[in-house]
Each structure stands twice: as C-alpha cells, then as structure tokens.
C-alpha cells in the first residue's frame, strides 16, 4: 500500500511537470508532435512555419507608421567653467588724515553715486576757507582801487600789476581751501552694494586707508576660456547659457561682452568674457559658473531615432517610394534627444521613411501606411507639401 502511494505521487509530479512544460515552453509541442504524443494527449498540433507564412501572406502588406525627413543644423557645443565678478567694484580710500565724525554706511547696504558716505573732522579746513575768502575780498578791493588810480595817473602800472597778482593769489588760496575742505568728505564714486564695514564713528584714518568696497552687481561678468579652434566662430553679442554651480539655480541666458586678442600659448585657449543680467540679485562676484556656447554648423538631414536600423553593413533607414520600401544606407553625424542627424546620397529632405513596423520588412516589400501625420509637425510648409 505504501509503495502504491509513492507511485501515485510520482506519477502526479511527472504529469504536473509535463503540463508546465507543454504550457510554457514554446518548443515543447513540436517535440511531442514529432514523437506522436500530441494525439495521445488530445492536444492539437501547432501550425507549421509554412502555414504561418501562408497566414501572414493572407494578411496583406505590412502596416507601418511613417515620418518625414527634415533638416536641422549640426550643433557644435562647448562647455567651460568660469569665474564671476561684478560689473564694477571700487575700493574707496581716505583722501586725508582725520577722525570720522559721521558715516552713512550700513554693512551690506546700497549706496547711490555722489552720496557722502564718510565725513572727517573739518573744522580747521572751514576756518582756513573763511580766512582765504576774507583775504580774497581785500585783494579784490585793492585791485579795483589801483585800477581807478591808474586811470588818474596817481598809481604806476607796475603797482597796479602787483595788486592784480595779489588778487590772483587770493583766488587760488580760496580754491585750495575749498579743495582741502572737500577732502574731508568721502563720496561714493558709483552706485552699488557695500561689503562688511570695519569702521566706526570716532575712528582715526590715514590717507589711503581702505574705508569700504562698493560693488555694482547689476550685471555679472564671467571670465572663461574656449579652445582656439572656435576663434573664428566666436563673436561679441553671441548668446551663452550660464548655470551657477553652487546654488542650484536655473540656467540663465547671457551674451559675450569681450574677447581677448591673444591665444594662450600654454593651454591653446582664448580668454572670453561673458555678461549676464542679475536683476533678481541672486548672483555674487566670485561664484563659479558653467558656460555653454553653441555654434551652428552644416545643415543635415534629421530623422526620428526609431527610423534608424542596423545591419552588418551599418545604419540604414526604410524609405517609402511608390508604395514600397527601400533600404537606404545613412551615416550618423550627431544624436539629439528628438532626432538623429544623418547624411546619405540616396536620401533628401521631404522623403517619407518608416519609423514603426520595421521588424518584418524586406527590400521591395509593399506596405500600408497607417499613420504619419505627427511627423509632419516638425517640418516647414514647403517640406510637408513636397512630402505629400
């Protein structure tokens, strides 16, 4: 009894394995058919390859989806890393020795051009100016009196010239006093943002001491280098795509503002300066930027990526001509996200090519086009009319 149970269990395992093999292995049924076991098991024999070919031939021409061959410029794109700097940056220094009596500066604040940002003690200069003005009034009166007396002959011409010289000297003394007084005030030379300020009211400064740095960052200038091979292609005003590397900000658009006149002999590169607007004030001098420049090249044929097939002889496409397909060899020059740029002696813009349904095609096969209108959207009106 125990042996019978083991035999029944083994028979069940074999039957289950046979069922799985027949159901899930495509090559199982032809093998069993050759052994003559399919009739024994009550399974219909699978159709032969000839029958399948006959069935396929009864379905008619293959159904395909087509596209139109377009045109697109071959892009030469170069990338570089550049350093940013402000449009203008001025280090403001003291013009004279003195004590700071007033400051109109805030760390990180904005100042306008012409604003008095630092005032030095100027009492002595005011006194000197007032004294010079008094001496000027006296010299002007003496010179006027001498001219009247000269007219009556009471004063010689030499004496009158002495009074004129004294008047001129008094005028120069007033100008010198006004200049000395102006040196006690430090004026912002440009409009911009201030940095960190280390001065306070009451500090004593010497001539040429650094007071503050004012930066105009309304535009950011980016210095970067390009290979010498693009020297003849690059030009001022050309568009550049700029991406800040450290902030993760969105790419920006700028332009080339200046090009160096000499190629560096060591690196064989050319120094180029780009300019990008900083209206949102998110960029700072000293930041690193990725700069990309695209140079349009020759115009090539553009085909959808799905249309390119491969054989032992290289890439090709199926061209539709008079309702039949022809294998046309192509040479791939550049791959884009939505197109492949190719060259071919037997293909031109406006030709119709197959993009889907290429699995069973043979050279000279007749096909039925099921769709192809979507491919026309990327072509000009002239190309569409020529294709249709």
**Measured in whole angstroms, how far is the alpha carbon of residue 89 from the centre of its chain?**
24
Within 10 angstroms of residue 111's Cβ, the number of other Cβ atoms is 21
| 99-141 confidence digits (pLDDT tens) | 999 998 888 899 999 999 999 998 999 999 999 999 999 988 8
pLDDT of residue 353: 92
| 68-109 confidence digits (pLDDT tens) | 999 887 777 889 999 999 999 999 999 889 999 999 888 889
Within 10 angstroms of residue 350's Cβ, the number of other Cβ atoms is 19
pLDDT of residue 335: 85
Partners of residue 303 on adjacent β-strands: 340
Considering all CA atoms of the chain, what is the largest pairwise distance in Å, rounded to the nearest integer?
A: 166
Please indicate whether residue 273 or residue 199 has the higher confidence score (pLDDT): 273
| 134-176 confidence digits (pLDDT tens) | 999 998 888 888 777 766 766 677 777 887 888 899 999 999 9
pLDDT of residue 23: 62
Q: Is 142 in a helix, a strand, or coil?
A: helix
Tokens read off for 151: 């007219």
Q: Is 368 in a helix, a strand, or coil?
A: strand
Instruction: Write the DSSP string, 184-253.
Output: TEEE-SS-EEE------TT-EE-TT-EEEEEEEEEEEEEEEEEEGGGTTT--TT-EEEEEETTT-PPPEE
pLDDT of residue 147: 79
Report the distance separating Cα 61 and Cα 44, nearest Å: 29
| 244-269 confidence digits (pLDDT tens) | 988 777 889 999 999 999 999 999 99
Least confident of 157-161, 232-236, 315-319, 346-350: 157-161
Within 10 angstroms of residue 378's Cβ, the number of other Cβ atoms is 17
Stretch 188-210: mean pLDDT = 90
Q: What is the mean pLDDT of the chain?
A: 82
Please indicate whether residue 355 or residue 33 has the higher confidence score (pLDDT): 355
pLDDT at 316 over 90: yes
Is-contact 339 72, C-beta < 8 A?
Answer: yes
Please indicate whether residue 5 or residue 232 has the higher confidence score (pLDDT): 232
Q: Is 194 exposed, middle or buried (0-12, 13-18, 19+ CB in 10 A)?
A: buried
Please indicate whether residue 13 or residue 298 has the higher confidence score (pLDDT): 298
Beta carbons within 8 Å of 249's beta carbon, 6+ residues apart: 243, 282
pLDDT at 53 over 50: no
pLDDT at 333 over 80: yes
Strand intervals (E) in the chain: 62-68, 70-93, 98-103, 110-111, 116-120, 185-187, 192-194, 204-205, 210-227, 239-244, 252-264, 269-277, 288-303, 309-311, 314-321, 324-329, 331-335, 340-343, 352-356, 367-371
Q: Is 361 in a helix, a strand, or coil?
A: coil
pLDDT of residue 308: 92
pLDDT at 348 over 70: yes
Query: What is the pTM assigned to this prediction?
Result: 0.56
Confidence of residue 37 (pLDDT cuts 50, 70, 90): low
pLDDT at 58 over 50: no
pLDDT at 22 over 80: no
Stretch 34-53: mean pLDDT = 54
């Amino acid at each position: 009894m125990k042996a019978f149970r083991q035999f029944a269990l083994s028979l069940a395992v074999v039957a289950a394995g046979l069922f799985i093999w027949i159901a899930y292995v495509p090559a199982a049924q032809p093998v069993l058919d050759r052994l003559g076991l399919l009739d024994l098991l009550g399974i219909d024999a699978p159709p032969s390859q000839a029958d399948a070919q006959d069935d396929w031939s009864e379905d008619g021409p293959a159904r395909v989806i087509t596209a139109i061959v377009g045109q697109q410029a071959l892009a030469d794109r170069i990338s570089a890393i550049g350093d940013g700097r402000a449009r203008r940056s001025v280090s403001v220094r003291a013009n004279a020795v003195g004590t700071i009596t007033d400051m109109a500066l805030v760390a990180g604040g904005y100042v306008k051009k012409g604003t008095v940002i630092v005032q030095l003690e100027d009492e002595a200069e005011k006194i000197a100016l007032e004294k010079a003005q008094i001496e000027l009034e006296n010299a002007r009166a003496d010179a006027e009196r001498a001219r009247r007396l000269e007219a009556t002959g009471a004063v010689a011409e030499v004496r009158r010239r002495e009074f004129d010289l004294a008047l001129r000297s008094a005028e120069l003394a007033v100008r010198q006093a006004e200049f000395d007084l102006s040196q006690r005030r430090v004026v912002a030379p440009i409009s911009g943002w201030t940095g960190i300020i280390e001065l306070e009211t009451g500090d004593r400064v010497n001539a040429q001491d650094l007071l503050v740095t004012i930066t105009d960052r309304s535009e950011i200038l980016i210095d970067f280098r390009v290979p010498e091979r693009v020297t003849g292609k690059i030009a001022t005003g050309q568009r550049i795509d700029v991406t800040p590397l450290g902030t993760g900000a969105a790419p920006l658009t700028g332009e080339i503002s200046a090009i160096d006149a000499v190629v560096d002999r060591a690196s064989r590169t050319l120094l180029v300066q780009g300019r990008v607007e900083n209206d949102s004030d998110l960029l700072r001098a000293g930041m690193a930027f990725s700069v990309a420049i695209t140079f349009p090249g020759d115009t090539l044929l553009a085909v959808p990526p799905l249309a390119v097939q491969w054989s032992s002889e290289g890439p090709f496409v199926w061209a539709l001509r008079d309702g039949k397909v022809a294998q046309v060899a192509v040479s791939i020059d550049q791959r884009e996200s939505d197109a492949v740029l190719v060259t071919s002696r037997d293909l031109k813009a406006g030709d119709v090519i197959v993009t889907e349904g290429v699995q069973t095609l043979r050279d000279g096969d007749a096909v039925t086009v099921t769709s192809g209108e979507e491919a026309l959207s990327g072509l000009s009106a002239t190309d569409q009319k020529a294709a249709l």
